[in-house]
Structure 1
Amino acid sequence: MISYPHIDPVIVHIGPLAIRWYGLMYLLGFLAAYFLTKYQLRERGLRELETHLDNIIFWGALGLIIGARLGHVFFYFPGYYLKHPLEIFALWHGGMSFHGGLLGVLITGYIYAKKHGLNFWFWADLFVVPAPIGLGLGRLGNFINGELYGRPTDVPWAMVFPKGGPIPRHPSQLYEAFGEGLVLFLLMWFLRKKNWPCGYKFATFLVAYGVIRFFIEFFREPDAGVPLLFGWMTRGQQFCFAMVVVGIALFLIKKRKAPCQPYRYR
């Protein structure tokens, strides 16, 4: 067994303000998305689109935070939050859903693209390349917070998490940081120059993320109070299965389309 490294979730206090590792991970994820998407635009000789990038990052970040919070509220614990509605705004108590955040980003991104005559799928293909960096960093934030830990185990690298009782558990946050973060990023970075139809890289991301997380969820402790489908499938696995289905459907829909262009009418 390995000792859990007790890291203070708060980096520094500035008066009443607390700078937390989890929040820093979000910030670093946004910065990675911004600079690596800008890098891809310059690789393609599309510097004129960088103004749109600035705006999309802003609205995407807003959609991500709102969607992630509302996803946690309505996908996992709607009963509790209906009884305690003010807790919806208590972001400092934790509780963010990746699938809700993804929906939030897609909604704000689609609205912006439609308003400005951009090809939504072109931009979706760009942003899914650096997205795993933010996902991996977010899982490291979960690890530092000692939350979303794994199931009981006797593997040599098991850890006892402060919130998980005295039982050694899988450090599933690190598994997810590796799979959803590093492995998925290397895959998407390798595919970034592929001249595929619009939406193919986004579909690849949906399928790859869904498969990776579906598997790792077997090592993660299910959320207390959230019923399992068929007695074993967690809520996260249910959403991941849906992602894989949507990704495959998108591959079929986009098949034989022309190579991707940034504008809807060009």
Structure 2
Amino acid sequence: MHYAIPFPDISPDVFSLDLGVFVFTLRWYALAYIAGIVGGWAMGRWLIGRPALWPGGRAPMTRAQLEDVMTWAVLGIILGGRLGYVLFYQPEVYLAEPMRILAVWEGGMSFHGGALGTAIAVGIYALRQKIPLWSMLDLASVVAPLGLGLGRLANFVNAELWGRPTELPWGVIFPGPAAQACANVGEFCARHPSQLYQATLEGAVLLILLWIVALRGGLRRGGLILGIFVAGYGVARTFVETFRQADAQYITPDNPLGHVLGGAEVGLTMGQVLSLPMVAVGLVLILIARRRNA
């Protein structure tokens, strides 16, 4: 007999309103996006209001420009996240049915695609407005973990992206036949709450680390915050992938862990394949930033 935690009775919907013509439903996942964007804007506004934190004692942009760039960032998150999922995880499905790419309500967003899309979007805005590119990317990086953490909490509420089976006492009994489809189990299947692992490491821990560095002069070293964010996320995601259930399309009877590189027992998941290069890129960015500002 092993102990586990029953999944809490939480609805994925915050509330619903019957408007006659249609029913409006606000979901926790959408609220997480909204809260992450608004919270990121508020933190960015606070940082811009403190010129001493920036190179030369001057903020890289005005608060009006910050509000403008948030629109670009939102587009980068949505378009990049969706296209990243399509290209990285299920290209054959969406190439066969291209119109399904627009069906975002079915789910399917990629962090790696969203991060790349956001970087491109805010980078273009910075170049158009003659804002220092490194400072723009540093600002985006220092606020990004808030949205990441909230998004992972929403994944937990939705009972999705759960972890591999475990007999540890903090394993969670997620609902649904897919979550309970574990081999050689008794009356229930408990799984790692990998969403909460990610919310802690990619969200809370990374956010605290970046703010400590930022308030200690890190924003004056162009690219340093960006490098720490990229490497930090890569390390956190690579680690948590060892507890997270792989996407269903990669799991077969001969490959139960869903590795896309290596063997069935020892290998890398798609999340690790996409995250390990981030560690290398982040370390290079940190080295360049330190040398540039030496």
Aligned to 2:16: 13
Q: Is the 8 A contact 1:130 1:185 kept in 2?
A: yes
Distance apart, 1:12 and its partner CA: 1.6
Distance apart, 1:258 and its partner CA: 4.1
Distance 1:255 1:132 in 2: 23
Distance apart, 1:47 and its partner CA: 9.2
State the identity as a percent: 42
1:109-158 CA-to-partner distances (Å, cap 9, x unmatched) read: 11111111111110111121121111000001100111100000000011
SS at match of 2:249: coil
Computing the radius of gyration over CA atoms, which structure comes out larger, 1 or 2?
2
The equivalent position to 2:6 in structure 1, one of 3, 6, 25, is: 3
Aligned to 2:55: none
Structure 2 residue 174 is matched with structure 1 residue 161? yes
SS at match of 2:16: strand
Amino acid at match of 2:128: K
Structure 2 residue 257 is matched with structure 1 residue 250? no
Q: Which moved more, 1:47-56 or 1:219-228?
A: 47-56
Structure 2 residue 196 is matched with structure 1 residue 174? yes
Distance apart, 1:250 and its partner CA: 1.7
Aligned to 1:262: none
Distance 1:13 1:108 in 2: 33
Distance apart, 1:197 and its partner CA: 2.2
Structure 2 residue 236 is matched with structure 1 residue 220? no
Aligned to 2:47: 40
Aligned to 1:31: 38
TM-score, structure 1 normalization:
0.92
Structure 2 residue 217 is matched with structure 1 residue 204? no
Q: Is the 8 A contact 1:6 1:144 kept in 2?
A: no
Aligned to 1:263: none
Aligned to 1:140: 153
Q: Displaced runs of 4+ in structure 1, greater than 6 A?
A: none
Distance 1:61 1:109 in 2: 10
Q: Is the 8 A contact 2:60 2:131 kept in 1?
A: no
Amino acid at match of 1:179: L
Q: Is the 8 A contact 2:60 2:132 kept in 1?
A: no
Equivalences, count: 259
Aligned to 2:256: none
Distance 1:113 1:145 in 2: 36
SS at match of 1:11: strand
Distance apart, 1:212 and its partner CA: 1.2
SS at match of 2:15: strand
5+ long unaligned stretches in structure 1: 260-266
Distance apart, 1:49 and its partner CA: 1.1
Distance 2:79 2:157 in 1: 23
Distance 2:221 2:14 in 1: 44
Distance 1:247 1:203 in 2: 4
SS at match of 2:241: helix
Distance 1:197 1:84 in 2: 46
Distance apart, 1:40 and its partner CA: 0.5
Distance 1:59 1:129 in 2: 17
Distance 1:161 1:83 in 2: 32
Q: Is the 8 A contact 1:197 1:256 kept in 2?
A: no
Distance apart, 1:7 and its partner CA: 1.4
TM-score, structure 2 normalization:
0.84
Q: How does 1:91-106 map to 2 (within 5 A)?
A: 91-106=104-119
Distance 2:7 2:39 in 1: 28
Distance 1:242 1:228 in 2: 15
